[in-house]
Chains A and B, each alone.
Chain A
Amino acid sequence: GENVEQHPSTLSVQEGDSAVIKCTYSDSASNYFPWYKQELGKRPQLIIDIRSNVGEKKDQRIAVTLNKTAKHFSLHITETQPEDSAVYFCAARFSGSARQLTFGSGTQLTVLP
């Protein structure tokens, strides 16, 4: 069945450094890849997304890259700040009849001051 794997499960970086989180997906027909940020006790919120016809997208300090051939996509956060500390989830929308949104297992990012 559809599967999204996410690595690492935890990541600690020094403030100002970059953070990279990687995900792989199983269904080559997947066509939409969002990233969500969930702060402690709060709901997940979309931070950036990318469609399958695009290889890279940037929004200020955040970027997402997509390699359709290898079926993986990554989140890049530059110049990290303490408020970036949260759990980050990748997801993929599969293009079959169900078209559900399947999430990775999450990455706990801690930015150390």
Chain B
Amino acid sequence: GAGVSQSPSNKVTEKGKDVELRCDPISGHTALYWYRQRLGQGLEFLIYFQGNSAPDKSGLPSDRFSAERTGESVSTLTIQRTQQEDSAVYLCASSLRGVGTEAFFGQGTRLTVV
């Protein structure tokens, strides 16, 4: 597709269950970001992938959160043993490598933990 695609667009899960969120970046984009946006709040950095380099995981809030990326393609964000405070929109963005390259966002996955 032409843009960053995320799935599912909405996810309702029970507290304690694991969830997996998917991001398909724009083809050729080596950089991929995950952000969390709670209702009415800002964009909280979670993790950053750049090509084959080791990812920057410094934003992951706890060891329940993990993310993987296969080469320069799809990424999955996994949240284990979900808690109500995990409820938020999870946004993925991708960009080309380089200094002044625009990061394009997906439409996000709205996660609700009940």
Co-assembled chains A and B: yes
B100 touches A51 (CB 8 A): yes
Knowing A43-B91, A43-B108, A44-B91 touch, does A103 contact B103 (C-beta < 8 A)? no
Contacts of B43 in A (CB 8 A): 44, 89, 103, 106
Those of A65-103 within 8 Å (CB) of chain B:
89, 93, 98-103
Query: What is the interface size of chain A, counting residues whose CB is below 8 A from a CB of the partner?
Result: 23
Number of A-B contacts (CB under 8 A): 56
> A14 at the A/B interface (Cβ < 8 Å)?
no
- How many B residues face the partner with a CB closer than 8 A? 23
Contact B42 A43 (CB under 8 A): no
Give the interface centre of A1, A49, A101 by most chain B CB atoms within 10 Å.
A101
- Given contacts A32-B99, A44-B91, A93-B99, are A102 and B105 in contact (CB under 8 A)? no
The answer to whether the Cβ of A31 comes within 8 Å of any Cβ in the partner chain is yes
Inter-subunit contact A49/B48 (CB<8 Å): no
CB distance from B3 to the nearest CB of A (A): 9
Q: Is B65 an interface residue (CB 8 A)?
A: no
B103: contacting residue among A1, A101, A106, CB under 8 A = A101
The answer on a CB contact under 8 Å between B45 and A49 is no
Ordered nearest first, which 7 A-B pairs have the shortest CB separation? A98-B56, A105-B42, A103-B43, A43-B105, A100-B48, A106-B42, A51-B100
**Chain B residues in contact with chain A, CB under 8 A?**
31, 33, 35, 41-43, 45, 48, 50, 56, 58-59, 91, 93, 99-100, 102-108
Q: Which residues of A contact B (CB under 8 A)?
A: 1, 31-32, 34, 36, 42-46, 49, 51, 89, 93, 98-106
| Subset of 21 A-B contacts with CB under 8 Å | A31-B99, A42-B107, A43-B105, A43-B108, A44-B105, A45-B105, A46-B102, A46-B103, A93-B99, A98-B58, A99-B50, A100-B33, A100-B59, A103-B35, A103-B42, A103-B43, A103-B45, A104-B42, A105-B42, A106-B42, A106-B43
